[in-house]
Amino acid sequence: MPESGVEETIRLQFLEEAQDYLQTIEAGVLCLSQQPGRMDEVLRAAHSIKGGAAMMGFTSLSELAHRLEDFFKILKSRPCEDAEVQHLLLKAVDQLQAVMILYRQGVQPNEGWWRTQVEPILDQLQGRLGEPTPEDDLALLSGDDGQQMRVALFETEVEACLQRLETVLQTPGQPCLKEELAIAAQELEALGQMLELPQFAEFCASVSAYLAQPNCDVRGTAASIIQQWRRCQALVITGQLAALPTHLEIPETDDGDQTIIDLPLANLDQELGVEDFASAEVAAFSLGDLLSPPPTPTETPAPALEPEPPPRTPQPPTQEPKEMTVRVPGHQLDQLSDLMGELLIECNGLDLQRERLHHLLALLKQKVRALERANFRLRTEYDRVSASHYLSPQNQHDFDVLEFDRYTDVHLLSQEVMETIVQVQEITTDLELSLEDTERTGRDLNRTAKQLQARFTQVRMRPFADLANRYPRLVRELSREHGKNVNLVIEGSHILIDRTVLSVLADPLLHLVRNAFDHGIEPAEERQALGKPAVGTITLKAAYRGNQTVITVADDGRGLNPEKIRQRARQLGLARDWLETASDRDLWQLIFEPGFSTAAQVTSLSGRGVGMDVVRTNLRQIRGDIQIQSTPGQGTRFTITIPYTLSVVRALLIEAAGMLLAVPTEVIEEMVLADRYPRVEALGSTLIDWEGYLIPLLELSQIFHFQRPPSPVEMQGAPAINAPTLIILTQGETGLALRVDRYWSEQEVTIRQVEGELPLPKGFSGCTILGNGRIVPLLDPLALFDRLEQQRPRAPVASAAAPSQDIVLVVDDSVNVRRFLASTLEKAGYRVEQAKDGQEAIDKLQGGLQVNALVCDIEMPRLDGFGVLTQIRRIPQCQNTPVLMLTSRTGQKHRQLAERLGAAAYFSKPFRESELLATLDQLIHHA
C-alpha cells in the first residue's frame, strides 16, 4: 500500500477509535450529578481525542475536544449540578459527533460552521463555568486523585500507545515506524504536560528532537526508545517520579560499550527503589520484561559485597492478562459466519456418511454369514453325495470312508471359498474397528465445531449497553422538552446480543421508549393525584430465557385504554359487532397496524401511526416476536423475544403432505403421537385438550395449499416416528398443535436466506441445507400464530362488504414462467391457479374451477393456446371469461389468429408488468 494510503487508513482508524471515546464522554455527562467520580474517565477520553486528532491533522476536532477538556477540568475540581450545563455539554458532544462525520466523509469543517454551531455553545459554557485556572489543574493532580489519574492514564493510554509501537516494530518491513514514533513522542509529551510531569515531557521532547535528525538510525534505536518509555511508565505507576529521565540515551552500536541488558525482577525492584513491589497495583504489563537504563560513563562499579546466605527469592506478582481488542470489519465476520455454516453442513454430511457406512458394514456382515451358510450347505451336500459314491460296490477299496479322507477338486474349491470367507470376515472386522475410530474422530469434530460455533457467536455479540446507552439522553431531552420528570432504568446491560440483532432493535426500542414516555407516563400532577410518585419510571431490561433473548420495555404509567382503542377503531370504520366482543388482547394488536394511532393530534412524538408498525416489521426480520401486557392505571409491558443466534438453530425435520420441512425447536413445547390428546370441534375449528387448555389443531397441507400431489419423502434410514405426530408450539400465552405425518430427526441446521426474483411463500423464514445436499424449507412459527389471529373473527370494514378475491388461471409449460407470473399476480392481490399445459387447464375448468381470467401461452404440449381459445367457449361458465395470451411469438400472424379465436389481449415476452396488470384489471372489472 502506498504511504499516503497507509496514512489515510490510520486516520480513519483513529476516527473509529474516537467514536468509542465519544460514547464514554456522553455516558459520563449523562450521569454527571449521580456519578461525579466518572469525570476522570471523561477527562481521559477528551484528552485522547484532543491529542490524537491533533496528530492526525483533524484541527477542528482537536480544538473542540480541547475546549471540552477544559470544562471537564473545571467540573472535576468544582462540581456543578446545573441542568443547563449538562444540556450544553451534550450539545457540544453532538458537535463532536458532527465534526467526526465530516472528517470521515473527507470534508473539512469551515469557519462558518464553527462560528454558528460551536461558538454559541462554548460561549454559554464559558459564561456558566468560566475558564480553567491553575488551581483547577493543581486540584486535578493533587493528592491521591492526581496520582490515581496518572496511574490510570499510564496503564491505559500510554500502554495502548506502546503496544501499538511494539506491533509496528514486529511487523515485517516496519511500515511507517519513524512516523509512528514521532506521533507517539508528541502525544506522550502533551500527556506529560497535562499531568505536570516535566521530566517525562522533556524526555519525550528529546525523542522528537532525535527523530528530527536527518541521519538518525530509527530501526536500530526503536527498540531502545520503546524500552526507555516502558521504564518511564513503570516509574510513574510505582510513584518514583523523581527518577524519571529527562534525555534519551542512545545506545552505541559500533563498539558495544553501551548495551541494553535484561534485569531480573528482583534487580529491577532494587533499581527502582521499591521495597515491596508485590503490593503495587500494576496490571497493565509485566515489569519483569522491562530493561534497565543504559549506564552512563560517570557511573562507577559498586564494591563487591561479602557473600551472604541467599535470601528467599520473592515471587513475581501475579497479574491479570490485559484484554486485547481487535477491530474486524463486519463483512469479514459475515463471511466467517457463512463458513461456520458450511462447516456445520459438512459435519452433518459426515454424520450421514458414517450412518451409511454402518448400514453397508452391517449388510456386508450379513452377506458374509449368508455366504458361509451357503458354503456349509454346499460342502455337506457334496460330502453326502461323495460318501454314497464311494460306498458303491464298484468303488470298494481297502479303506472305508471313516478310515481315509478322499479329496476332489470340489473339496479344494470349497476349502478355498471358506478361507476367502474368513479373510473377508477379518477385513470386515478391520473395517468395523476403523469405522469406530472414524466415529470417535467425527464426534470430536462435531464437538470442536460446536465449540467453535459457540465461541464465534460470542465474537459476534455486543453488550446490550451498546444499544441501551443511547436512550438515557433521549429520555432526558424528552423530559426537558415536554415537562415530564421521567427516570429510565436499564437492567441487564451486560447481556450479550448479536450485533446484527442490536442494529435491527435500534428503531423498535426507540419507538417503544418514546411511546412509553408519551402515551404511558402521566404528567406529575396526575400521578400525584393517583397516589403515584411524581417521577415516572421506564424500565429497559435484557435477559436470557432458554435459547432466547428477552427484552422488555415497561412503564408505570396509565396503561393501555381498551375503550380508547375501541373508539379509535370505530372512527377508522371497523365493524361495531366485532369491536364490542373483541378481547383486550385483540384490541392491543390493533396498535401494530399501519396508520393506527390513538393520539388526538400529530406531534413530534406521536400521532402518525407508523411507529408500532415499524416495531413489528423490524422484529420479523430477525424472527422476533412482541407481546403486550397492560393493566389500566398501573402500566404497560412490551416483551420482545428473539432467537439467541440468527445463523444456526436446532430444528426438527418433519414430513407433511409429502414435503420435508424444518421447524425451529425454540418454540416447541412437546411432541407426542397424534392420538395422545382428544379432539374437540368448536366454533368451526378443531381443538385439542392439551394439559387442560384447548388449543387449535393445524394441518400444514391445509395451510400452504401445495400445488402438487403428495408423495412420501425418500431419505436414508427410517424416520424416528413413523406415525402421525403432534408438535405443540407456544409463543407467549398462545399455543397451537401442528399435525405432521412423520418425524425424522433433530439436528443443528444453518439458516440460508433465499435470494432471487421469486420470494419465499408466506410461512417460511428461509431454508437449510442437509448433509446430503438436500434443501429443506424452514418453517416460520410466527406465521402459524399469525394465521391463528387471522382465523379469528375479524373486523370487516363497516361501510362496505369485503370484496371477493379474483382468481386468475396461469397456463404455461414452463414452471419458472408460471411461478414468476404467480408471484406478480399475487402481489397485485389476485389468487392464482396454475396449469402446465392447455389440456390441464381445460380439465380444471371442466371440473368446476371458477376463474375470472386466464393468462395463457401459445406453444404447449398436448393442447396449445389456440386450442384453449377454441375449447374454453364450449364450457358454459367460461364463455365470457377473458383470455390474455402471453407468448414469445411476436409475429402479426399469431396475433391475428389469437384475436380471431377470441383472445381479449395479446402480450409478448418480455412484458411490462404494469401494462399487463392494468389490462387484466380492465378486462375483469370494467369490460
Shared domain for 778 and 852, answered yes or no, is: no
Task: Tell me which residues of the chain have a pLDDT lower than 70.
Answer: 1-7, 36-37, 55, 133-148, 252-327, 330, 382-383, 385-410, 545-547, 594-611, 644-647, 682-684, 704-712, 732-733, 753-760, 786-804, 815-816, 927
Of the candidates 248, 253, 201, the residue with the CA atom closest to the CA atom of residue 226:
248
Shared domain for 481 and 601, answered yes or no, is: yes
DSSP 72-104: HHHHHHS----HHHHHHHHHHHHHHHHHHHHHH
Write out the residue range of the structural domain in which residue 570 sits: 463-643
What is the C-alpha separation between 30 and 33, in angstroms, rounded?
8
What is the C-alpha separation between 242 and 170, in angstroms, rounded?
32
Ramachandran region, residue 773 (left: φ > 0; alpha: ψ -120 to 50; beta: rest): left
- For residue 872, the domain's CATH number is 3.40.50.2300
pLDDT at position 203 is 92
Tell me, yes or no, whether 827 lies in a domain. Answer: yes
DSSP 341: H
Q: Which of 623, 643, 663 is the last residue of a domain?
A: 643
Give the H or E element holding residue 537: strand 536-545
Shared domain for 665 and 611, answered yes or no, is: no
Shared domain for 264 and 360, answered yes or no, is: no
- For residue 14, the domain's CATH number is 1.20.120.160
pLDDT at position 489 is 92
Q: Which of 141, 173, 189 is the last residue of a domain?
A: 141
Shared domain for 532 and 412, answered yes or no, is: no
- For residue 747, the domain's CATH number is 2.40.50.180
β-bridge mates for residue 775, sequence order: 769
β-bridge mates for residue 639, sequence order: 552, 627
- For residue 498, the domain's CATH number is 3.30.565.10
Of the candidates 291, 282, 289, 204, the residue with the CA atom closest to the CA atom of residue 239:
282
Number of separate domains in the chain: 6
The Cβ of residue 420 has, within 10 Å, a number of other Cβ atoms equal to 12
Report CA torsion sign: 794, 795, 801, 805.
negative
Q: Are the CB atoms for 906 and 898 separated by under 8 Å? A: yes
Tell me, yes or no, whether 432 lies in a domain. Answer: yes
Shared domain for 418 and 475, answered yes or no, is: no
Tell me, yes or no, whether 174 lies in a domain. Answer: yes
Ramachandran region, residue 159 (left: φ > 0; alpha: ψ -120 to 50; beta: rest): alpha
Tell me, yes or no, whether 397 lies in a domain. Answer: no
pLDDT at position 859 is 84
274 Cβ partners below 8 Å, 6+ apart? 238, 240, 280
Shared domain for 169 and 277, answered yes or no, is: yes
Tell me, yes or no, whether 306 lies in a domain. Answer: no
Of the candidates 415, 537, 549, the residue with the CA atom closest to the CA atom of residue 486:
537
Shared domain for 195 and 334, answered yes or no, is: no
Tell me, yes or no, whether 317 lies in a domain. Answer: no
Shared domain for 120 and 189, answered yes or no, is: no
User: Checking DSSP bridges between strand 742-750 and strand 635-643, what pairing results, if any?
Assistant: unpaired
Q: Which of 598, 622, 643 is the last residue of a domain?
A: 643
Could you tell me where the beta strands, DSSP code E, fall in 606-692? Answer: 625-631, 635-643, 648-656, 659-664, 668-673, 679-682, 685-690
pLDDT at position 597 is 67
Rounded-to-10 torsion of CA 233, 235, 239, 241: -100
Tell me, yes or no, whether 796 lies in a domain. Answer: no
Shared domain for 609 and 554, answered yes or no, is: yes
Shared domain for 106 and 153, answered yes or no, is: no
Residue 273 C-alpha cell reads as 527503589
Tell me, yes or no, whether 533 lies in a domain. Answer: yes
Shared domain for 30 and 91, answered yes or no, is: yes
